[in-house]
């Protein structure tokens, strides 16, 4: 196990990371000297109540925010002090986001939604863009829905489009912020099934959630409390989303 | 993100809100259409004035004697006896930029031919006068060389005079007429010239040799009422006028700083005098129209601001997947520019159309100049950039985290 760890590449590595929000009168310490790594191929669930600092950490991981103190290496590069444009470039090349509210562009086809990150990469031409978007849609099983608008898709389908969008730029890590928060149990499990399948293909995933039954699908659970890591668990018997789905009563009875 | 993609995105977003886009464009449409129509009306009236004044002749310069004061009372301009035949000859010899020149002696009177009579004005001129004013003889001939020397009693008559003195079967050329009881032979008939710039009938005129009118009808040998001069070319009008001024000042011992007892008017000055009024009108009208363009621009800014707020989450998402502030700025700026350019295009069409309507319905002289279309169009573009910049900048400065969570 240890040998394996050393061989694996560190995708995310933070040391002594702090984030302080200056609200004028009071200073909010959202993160207090965090040290942690995420290795290639890991499926990590970040848990915690609201205000525990888990979302702040995800924002920093996703290059949407910069730490007040400490170092952050993403895919081997120090990104703690990048400017806005450099951060945008990092997000474009290395990160895939999945949001609770999907954030799909309305009245824009599923395919075009998936293409979006590639539009901001000048190295990718139109033909390649279409091809890659189509392939990623196939990965999440939505080939037949590529021309549909988000309002013609179910919640689960929309989240799958969002997952495809997060994958299309071939990121080093996929960051998901409460991806099942707006979904019912069955659809949540369906989404987790996709995550597990993607992780099986070697994709590194970090997932923020407050639902314990969702976190049990991930191999590694990190619990946050008051801006600190309070507990880290390696789940021995990871729940299999496909099996869990089969255990659910048939859909028409729900 | 390349321009084509941005263009597609902008077009699509305008297309999503068709009515709103159209209403936003309305201000620009009205502005551009009215700028074009106003400039067309102004240009039209200017053109028609220029046309009429060019009827004066080609590259014309006129020299009048000045006004005199008798006992402190000013007499009419031209009444001073300060231009003489010698001055005329001096101009001919000493001013290289002068092509033709002719003195003008004016008289009027009753003209009788057989049992018909008519009252018209008679001008004593050289043949050159006809060249200066582009007057053509339709039948018969111009004056002979000797006519001027001998003060021959010959004349060339205009169409209106001919119509009133002779019936349609008679060729006026060769007929005898009497002007103020002096018998004249008609040697030529002028080509019809029509109505002049001030509404006068340019065909109601009789030309006779200068000396004939000057001596036989006015009883004057020396003083000239007016000199018509043409410069060798349009560019030389100013130069010729300066040459004449200098020469006449020297001859009459008048320094540069004194008012001379003569006036020199060039065709350019006369054109300017008449067009300055229409220019003022044009600037005024175009100014009012531009205000509506600016109001239209404010409308665009307003809608773009609403659009930025509405699409805050979209902006946040675009930023999250790698859009830089610059990309967002371009996207919204292009949308604003597209709005105003599209408005400009529709406005230009309306402007040209309404100008044509003015011609068709009200018979106004209207000229749509391409420069006014270009002007209005580029103005619309500038307004798009100017009023689009603020909302686009606001969008570009959004913080992605906050934008993503915007409700």
pLDDT tens track for B321-374: 999 999 999 999 999 999 999 999 999 999 999 988 888 887 777 888 888 888
- Which structure tokens are listed for B257? 């700083």
> Which of B321, B326, B401 is opposite residue A116, by nearest beta carbon?
B321
pLDDT tens track for B24-61: 999 899 989 988 888 888 888 878 777 777 767 778 88
pLDDT tens track for B5-27: 888 888 888 888 899 999 999 98
CA distance linking residue A11 with residue B128, whole number of Å: 98
Residues on chain B touching A84 (C-beta within 8 angstroms): 324-325
> Which of A88, A93, A169 is opposite residue B324, by nearest beta carbon?
A88
> Which of A84, A99, A119 is opposite residue B1, by nearest beta carbon?
A119
Interface test with B, best of A64, A82, A109, A162 (most B CBs within 10 A): A64
CA distance linking residue A67 with residue A70, whole number of Å: 7
DSSP B54: H
H helix count then E strand count, chain B: 13, 12
Q: Which helix (H) or strand (E) holds A239?
A: none
- Which structure tokens are listed for B312? 């805050």
Strand partners, B112: B117, B178
Note whether A151 contacts B: Cβ–Cβ < 8 A.
no
Residues on chain B touching A64 (C-beta within 8 angstroms): 320, 400-401, 404
Note whether A149 contacts B: Cβ–Cβ < 8 A.
no
Nearest chain B CA: its distance from A8 CA (Å):
27
pLDDT tens track for B282-308: 788 878 888 888 898 999 999 999 999
3-state percent breakdown (helix, strand, coil) of chain B, nearest 5: 55, 20, 25
Q: Where are the beta strands (DSSP E) in B213-366?
A: 226-231, 262-266
- The helix/strand/coil state of B18 is helix
Mean pLDDT of B183-199: 81
Q: Chain B, 289-328: which have a CB under 8 Å from a chain A CB?
A: 313-314, 316-327
Residue partners of B363: CB distance under 8 A and separation at least 6: none
Tell me the DSSP string of B257-297.
TSPPSEEEEEHHHHHHHHHHHHHHHHHHHHHHHHHHHHHHH
Q: Which candidate, B310, B295, B370, B305, places its Cα nearest to that of B340?
A: B295
pLDDT at B271 over 80: no
Sign of the alpha-carbon dihedral angle for A239, A243, A246, A247: negative
Residue partners of B287: CB distance under 8 A and separation at least 6: none
**Rounded to the nearest 5°, which phi and psi values hold at A233?**
-120, 135
Longest dimension (CA), chain B: 105
Q: Which candidate, A33, A36, A2, places its Cα nearest to that of A19?
A: A33
> Which of A65, A84, A93 is opposite residue B401, by nearest beta carbon?
A65
A57-95 as b/e: b if 16+ CB within 10 A: bbbbbbbbbbbbebebbbbeeebbebeeeebbbbbbbbb
pLDDT at B280 over 90: no
Task: Give CA A144 to chain center in angstroms.
Answer: 25
Range among A54-63, B77-86, B135-144 rated most confident? A54-63
Note the pLDDT of residue B75.
Answer: 62
CA distance linking residue B212 with residue B224, whole number of Å: 13
Note the pLDDT of residue B66.
Answer: 74
Strand partners, B54: none
Residues on chain A touching B317 (C-beta within 8 angstroms): 99, 103, 105, 116
Q: Which helix (H) or strand (E) holds B8?
A: helix B3-16
Alpha-carbon radius of gyration of chain B:
33
Residues on chain A touching B314 (C-beta within 8 angstroms): 105
**CATH number of this structure's domain A41-66+83-253:** 3.40.50.300
- Which structure tokens are listed for B164? 């009133």
Along the 254 residues of chain A, how does pLDDT read in single tens digits? 444 555 678 999 999 999 999 888 899 999 999 999 999 999 999 999 888 989 899 999 999 999 999 999 999 999 998 999 999 999 999 999 999 989 999 889 999 999 999 999 989 999 999 999 999 999 999 999 999 999 999 988 999 999 999 999 999 999 999 999 888 999 999 999 999 999 999 999 999 998 888 999 999 999 999 999 999 999 888 999 888 888 888 766 54
CA distance linking residue B54 with residue B50, whole number of Å: 6
Strand partners, B101: B229
Among chain B residues, CA nearest to A167: B321
Q: Which residue in this structure is represented by tokens 């933070």?
A: A14
Note whether A165 contacts B: Cβ–Cβ < 8 A.
yes
B85-104 as b/e: b if 16+ CB within 10 A: eebbebbeeebebbbbbbbb
Note whether A88 contacts B: Cβ–Cβ < 8 A.
yes
Q: How wide is the angle at C-alpha B325 spanned by C-alphas B321 and B327, nearest 5°?
A: 75
| A169 to B321: CB separation less than 8 angstroms, yes or no | yes
> Which of B2, B323, B404 is opposite residue A88, by nearest beta carbon?
B323
Interface test with B, best of A59, A120, A165, A166 (most B CBs within 10 A): A120
pLDDT at B102 over 80: yes
> Which of B5, B16, B326 is opposite residue A119, by nearest beta carbon?
B5
pLDDT at B72 over 70: no
Residue partners of B15: CB distance under 8 A and separation at least 6: B21
Note whether A122 contacts B: Cβ–Cβ < 8 A.
yes
Nearest chain B CA: its distance from A60 CA (Å):
10
| B320 to A119: CB separation less than 8 angstroms, yes or no | no
Mean pLDDT of B134-160: 89
Q: Which helix (H) or strand (E) holds B330?
A: helix B325-357
- Which structure tokens are listed for B394? 């606001």
Note the pLDDT of residue B371.
Answer: 86
Q: How many CB atoms lie within 10 A of CB B308?
A: 22
CA distance linking residue B188 with residue B172, whole number of Å: 8
Helices B237-251 and B267-310 cross at an angle (nearest 10°) of 140
pLDDT tens track for B235-255: 888 889 889 888 888 888 888
Nearest chain A CA: its distance from B405 CA (Å):
9
> Which of B2, B316, B322 is opposite residue A89, by nearest beta carbon?
B322
Q: How many CB atoms lie within 10 A of CB B406?
A: 14
pLDDT at B278 over 80: no
């Amino acid at each position: 196990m240890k040998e394996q760890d050393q061989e694996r590449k560190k995708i995310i590595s933070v040391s002594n990371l702090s984030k302080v929000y200056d609200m004028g009168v009071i200073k909010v310490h959202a993160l207090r000297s965090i040290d942690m790594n995420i290795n290639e191929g890991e499926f990590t669930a970040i848990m915690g109540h609201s205000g525990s600092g888990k979302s702040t950490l995800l924002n920093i991981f996703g290059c949407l925010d910069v730490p007040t103190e400490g170092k952050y290496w993403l895919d081997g590069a120090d990104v703690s002090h990048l400017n806005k444009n450099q951060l945008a470039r990092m997000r474009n090349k290395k990160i895939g986001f999945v949001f609770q509210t999907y954030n799909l562009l309305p009245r824009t086809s599923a395919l075009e939604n998936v293409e979006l990150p590639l539009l901001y990469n000048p190295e990718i031409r139109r033909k390649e863009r279409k091809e890659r978007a189509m392939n990623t849609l196939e990965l999440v099983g939505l080939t037949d829905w590529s021309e549909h608008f988000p309002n013609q898709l179910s919640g689960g389908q929309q989240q799958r489009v969002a997952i495809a969008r997060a994958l299309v730029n071939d990121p080093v890590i996929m960051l998901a912020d409460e991806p099942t928060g707006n979904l019912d149990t069955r659809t949540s499990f369906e989404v987790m099934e996709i995550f597990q399948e993607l992780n099986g293909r070697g994709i590194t995933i970090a997932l923020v959630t407050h639902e314990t039954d969702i976190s049990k699908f991930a191999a590694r659970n990190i619990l946050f409390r008051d801006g600190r890591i309070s507990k880290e668990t390696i789940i021995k018997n990871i729940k299999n989303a496909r099996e869990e789905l089969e255990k659910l009563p048939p859909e028409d009875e729900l | 993100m390349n321009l084509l993609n941005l263009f597609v995105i902008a077009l699509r977003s305008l297309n999503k809100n068709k009515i709103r886009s159209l209403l936003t464009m309305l201000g620009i449409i009205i502005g551009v259409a009215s700028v074009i129509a106003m400039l067309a009306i102004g240009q039209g009236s200017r053109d028609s004035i220029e046309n009429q004044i060019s009827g004066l002749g080609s590259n014309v310069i006129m020299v009048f004697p000045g006004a005199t004061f008798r006992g402190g009372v000013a007499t009419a301009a031209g009444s001073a006896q300060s231009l003489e035949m010698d001055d005329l000859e001096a101009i001919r010899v000493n001013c290289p930029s002068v092509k033709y020149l002719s003195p003008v002696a004016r008289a009027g009177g009753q003209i009788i031919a057989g049992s018909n009579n008519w009252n018209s004005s008679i001008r004593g001129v050289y043949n050159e006068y006809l060249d200066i004013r582009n007057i053509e003889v339709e039948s018969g001939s111009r004056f002979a060389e000797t006519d001027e020397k001998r003060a021959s009693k010959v004349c060339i008559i205009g169409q209106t005079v001919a119509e009133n003195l002779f019936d349609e079967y008679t060729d006026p050329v060769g007929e005898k007429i009497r002007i103020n009881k002096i018998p004249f032979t008609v040697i030529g008939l002028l080509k019809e010239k029509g109505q002049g710039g001030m509404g006068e009938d340019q065909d109601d005129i009789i030309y006779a040799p200068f000396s004939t009118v000057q001596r036989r009808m006015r009883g004057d040998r020396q003083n000239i009422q007016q000199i018509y001069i043409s410069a060798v070319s349009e560019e030389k009008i100013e130069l010729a006028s300066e040459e004449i001024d200098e020469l006449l000042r020297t001859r009459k011992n008048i320094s540069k700083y004194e008012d001379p007892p003569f006036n020199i008017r060039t065709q350019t000055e006369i054109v300017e005098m008449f067009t300055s009024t229409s220019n003022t009108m044009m600037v005024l009208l175009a100014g009012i129209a531009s205000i509506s363009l600016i109001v239209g621009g404010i409308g665009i800014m307003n809608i773009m601001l609403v659009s930025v707020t509405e699409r805050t989450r979209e902006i946040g998402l675009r930023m999250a997947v790698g859009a830089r502030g610059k990309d967002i700025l371009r996207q919204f700026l292009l949308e604003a520019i597209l709005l105003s350019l599209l408005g400009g295009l529709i406005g230009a069409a309306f402007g040209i159309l309404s100008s044509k309507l003015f011609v068709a319905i009200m018979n106004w002289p209207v000229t749509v100049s391409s420069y006014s279309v270009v002007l209005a169009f580029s103005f619309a573009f500038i307004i798009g950039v100017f009023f689009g910049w603020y909302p686009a900048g606001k969008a570009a400065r959004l913080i992605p985290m906050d934008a993503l969570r915007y409700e």
